[in-house]
A and B are shown apart, each in its own frame.
Chain A
Amino acid sequence: AQKVTQAQTEISVVEKEDVTLDCVYETRDTTYYLFWYKQPPSGELVFLIRRNSFDEQNEISGRYSWNFQKSTSSFNFTITASQVVDSAVYFCALNTDKLIFGTGTRLQVFP
């Protein structure tokens, strides 16, 4: 069975703080993809990143970085120097034969 766990329901930080969103997944498949999506207050789902199971290299994109560790089945997302515009719900997702989502982490960044 496939499962994605985002244990942090809600996180609040002050602007410029760094914040890490945790994601733990379960699958027996050896080939799979992991994703992060952002859902801002406007409601749409915005794709942020995709990682395949054979590529454990960490990735950095501006203030965003992702840490994929197969040994711990984790795919954590860090925002450096957070900004108010980062306030959103962030979803981690796993694709084996279909895309399933975690329950999301609501991030609130206060000025």
Chain B
Amino acid sequence: DAGVIQSPRHEVTEMGQEVTLRCKPISGHNSLFWYRQTMMRGLELLIYFNNNVPIDDSGMPEDRFSAKMPNASFSTLKIQPSEPRDSAVYFCASSHLFDYSNTGELFFGEGSRLTVL
């Protein structure tokens, strides 16, 4: 079975440019999470969706960040305009809602490494 698929795996861009990261969750999972990993702050939860609806976006750092989930099989995380401090690895994770509520096990993608120059 395919796992969580993220693209691009690596992105290098210049400050001020728009960045879009994409995620395809595991089929049948209805909870989706975006995490950011940096050396300084570790793994931070940015936002999560249940049944395509954003539930908690309190971790989104600022208005430059936005996330959407137009359907059950696709989500995007957009940064506009990007800044050097946004450089990080962004992970997408998914779970079946029932499983997450009861056990919290998430299945992670391989991450998208973003470098903003």
Contact = CB atoms under 8 A, between A and B. Distances in A.
Nearest to B41: A103
Contacts of A103: 41-42
A79 B32 CA distance: 31
Nearest to A49: B105
A36 B42 CA distance: 15
Interface string B102-117: 0111111111010000
B22 to A, nearest CB: 17
28 contacts: A33-B103, A35-B105, A42-B110, A44-B109, A44-B111, A45-B91, A45-B93, A45-B108, A47-B106, A47-B107, A52-B103, A91-B43, A93-B104, A95-B100, A95-B103, A98-B56, A99-B33, A99-B45, A99-B100, A99-B104, A99-B106, A100-B45, A101-B35, A101-B42, A102-B42, A103-B41, A103-B42, A104-B43
Interface on chain A toward B: helix, strand, loop, or mixed SS? strand
A111 interface: no
Contact of B103 (A42, A50, A100): A50
B23 interface: no
Interface residues of B, number: 22
Contact of A50 (B56, B105, B111, B113): B105
Interface of B: 33, 35, 41-43, 45, 48, 56, 89, 91, 93, 100, 103-111, 113
Interface string A28-54: 000001010000001111010010100
Nearest to B3: A44
A96 to B, nearest CB: 9
Given A98-B48, A101-B42, A103-B42, A35 B104 contact: yes
Q: Which of B33, B48, B104, B111 has the most CB of A within 10 A?
A: B104
Interface in A83-106: 91, 93, 95, 98-104
Contacts of B109: 44
Given A43-B89, A45-B91, A98 B45 contact: yes
Nearest to A44: B110
A43 B89 CA distance: 9
Contacts of B43: 91, 101, 104
